[in-house]
Amino acid sequence: MTADLIFHIISRFIHISSVVILLGGLFYARQVLVPTFETLPEDARANAAAASQSRFRNPLFSLLVLIVASGLYNFFTGPKHGRDYQIWFGIKMLLVAHFAATAILWATSPFGDVRVNDKGKKRLLSLTVSGLVIIAISAYLRSLTLRGL
């Protein structure tokens, strides 16, 4: 194995594992934490939501940096692709931009997704669905790469 191949494998591992950790955390927050917080009284709900969100903020930003950095490395060192790949890659990048912006908004909002004062938010649902669509497009792009397109 050459050093370039080892670095490429490490970069892909960092990229994929960061996506898995981030989406797993968001899915857990959406499916477990938010419904649990909904059962708490209003003041405890706001405090618990703010505390859990602040604990997830630093890992969220770290994972976003790792995902973007390793993704750019993988893109620029990979093979050149055709028109179909570039179109779908552009769509994927628009979804990634939506994902990153929504994640940053969620991380910096006062209460996250928990219903406070009868106002609910659906950012975690949007992040989870967008992340899964991005993974589906990535799988399609990988199949195009394996076919040499």
| β partners of residue 119 | 116
Q: Which two tokens stand for residue 137?
A: 């497009």
Q: In the chain, where does DSSP find H-type helix?
A: 3-28, 34-38, 42-77, 83-108, 123-146
Q: Which two tokens stand for residue 125?
A: 């649902």
The pLDDT-based confidence of 20 (bands split at 50, 70, 90) is very high
pLDDT tens readout for residues 33-61: 888 888 888 888 878 888 888 888 899 99
pTM higher than 0.75: yes
Q: Is the pLDDT of residue 77 over 90?
A: no
Other Cβ atoms less than 10 A from the Cβ of 34: the count is 21
User: Residue-wise over 44-63: b if at least 16 C-beta within 10 A, else e?
Assistant: ebbebbbebbeebeeebeeb
